[in-house]
């Protein structure tokens, strides 16, 4: 274990390595130059080796010294995990098998507007659940009461609905609660019948059936974001039901990291998914169609 990640003492340790030995460097983020992608700092890192291998897909969307800068001074290639990530996420953006279904959830539509717009040009159906579905439902004129809704994104949601044609699928019923609490009173209602003082916490059983029908026969499914507050067992059924539908679907299933990865693990079906991404933010940006600096920096051959 090196005392730092740069400097003469670290270079001496690197030069003294014998065949089969590994030198682990100290955390690069102890240096402010790392996140600034400082060329001099990157050059000092590069001085420690002969080839750069990036296997950190979860950081590939960041142009930092250790993810992008160092590749300017050394031959740079992907590791095996990076290769698998690019293979499966590439399937979802370049030449997807069809029918291709995308599922998006999570709390906020504002975080995923670019993803939604990009996926709608590529997928056959886009299923939306979670808190972000509330903003779409509010855009349709439904009173969502105390549910999480982003007022600033309602006009954007209206435009997406208008342009999506029949591709966009939204929940038709919901599990609602009288407060944001694991022990809250709950009931299932149609999405246009949320009573005052209540909030949406999960998709309901009719929505699971609707989404399941859309998933039937799919060849490729990409999922990013839970269908509800799955951290609370009472409001996890919708998310777990979708996870189990995917596990049994026979489709190529690509799970987009973060909460989605946690959800398929909690549902006990992670091993039945084709690929569970290690990068939440990176996978989202890839699905947006953005170039990831840590990937672009790698040599083509």
Q: Based on the fold, state whether residues 132 and 205 are members of the same structural domain.
A: yes
Q: Based on the fold, state whether residues 118 and 74 are members of the same structural domain.
A: no
Q: Based on the fold, state whether residues 147 and 224 are members of the same structural domain.
A: yes
Indicate whether this model's pTM tops 0.85. yes
In a domain, 299, yes or no: no
Q: Based on the fold, state whether residues 53 and 127 are members of the same structural domain.
A: no
Find the domain containing 24 and state its range.
8-78
In a domain, 282, yes or no: yes
Distant-in-sequence, close-in-space partners of 28: CB < 8 Å, separation ≥ 6 = 5, 34, 45, 64, 65, 66
Q: Based on the fold, state whether residues 99 and 220 are members of the same structural domain.
A: yes
Q: Based on the fold, state whether residues 110 and 216 are members of the same structural domain.
A: yes
Q: Based on the fold, state whether residues 128 and 254 are members of the same structural domain.
A: yes
> Looking at residue 4, what DSSP letter applies?
S
Distant-in-sequence, close-in-space partners of 190: CB < 8 Å, separation ≥ 6 = 172, 173, 174
The Cα–Cα gap between 55 and 191 comes to 43
Structure tokens at 134: 């509330």
The Cα–Cα gap between 125 and 164 comes to 9
Q: Based on the fold, state whether residues 131 and 259 are members of the same structural domain.
A: yes
Domains in the chain, number: 2
| Residue-by-residue pLDDT tens, the chain, 301 positions | 999 999 999 999 999 999 999 999 999 999 999 999 999 999 999 999 999 999 999 999 999 999 999 999 999 999 999 999 999 888 888 889 999 999 999 888 888 888 898 899 889 999 999 999 999 999 999 999 999 999 999 999 999 999 998 999 999 999 999 999 999 999 999 999 999 999 999 999 999 999 999 999 999 999 999 999 999 999 999 999 999 999 999 999 999 868 899 999 999 999 999 999 988 788 888 888 888 999 999 986 4
Q: Based on the fold, state whether residues 55 and 116 are members of the same structural domain.
A: no
Q: Based on the fold, state whether residues 162 and 253 are members of the same structural domain.
A: yes
Helix segments in 153-257, DSSP class H: 154-164, 205-215, 237-247
Q: Based on the fold, state whether residues 98 and 25 are members of the same structural domain.
A: no
CATH of the domain at 192: 3.40.50.1260
């Amino acid at each position: 274990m090196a005392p730092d990640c740069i400097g003469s003492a670290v270079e001496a340790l690197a030069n003294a390595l014998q065949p089969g030995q590994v030198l682990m460097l100290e955390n690069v983020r102890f240096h402010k130059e790392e996140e600034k992608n400082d060329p001099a700092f990157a050059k000092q890192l590069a001085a420690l080796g002969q080839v750069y291998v990036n296997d950190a897909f979860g950081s590939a969307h960041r142009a930092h010294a250790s993810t992008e800068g160092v590749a300017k001074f050394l031959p740079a290639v992907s590791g095996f995990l990076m290769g698998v990530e690019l293979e499966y996420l590439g399937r979802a953006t370049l030449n997807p098998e069809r029918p291709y279904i995308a599922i998006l959830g999570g709390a906020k539509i504002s975080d995923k507007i670019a993803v939604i717009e990009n996926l709608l040009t590529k997928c056959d159906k886009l299923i939306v659940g979670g808190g972000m579905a509330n903003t779409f439902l509010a855009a349709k004129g439904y009173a969502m009461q105390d549910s999480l809704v982003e007022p600033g994104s309602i006009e954007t949601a209206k435009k997406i609905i208008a342009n999506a044609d029949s591709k966009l699928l939204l929940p038709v019923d919901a599990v609602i609660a009288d407060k944001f609490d694991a022990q809250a009173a709950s009931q299932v209602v149609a999405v246009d019948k949320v009573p005052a003082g209540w909030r949406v916490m999960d998709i309901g059983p009719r929505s699971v059936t609707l989404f399941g029908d859309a998933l039937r026969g799919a060849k490729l499914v990409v999922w990013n974001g839970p269908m509800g507050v799955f951290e609370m067992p009472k409001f996890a059924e919708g998310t777990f039901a979708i996870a189990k539908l995917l596990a049994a679907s026979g489709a190529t299933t690509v799970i987009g990291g973060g909460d989605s990865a946690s959800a398929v693990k909690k549902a006990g079906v992670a091993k039945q998914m084709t690929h569970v991404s290690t990068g939440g933010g990176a996978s989202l940006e890839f699905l947006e169609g953005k170039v990831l600096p840590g990937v672009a920096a790698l040599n083509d051959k």
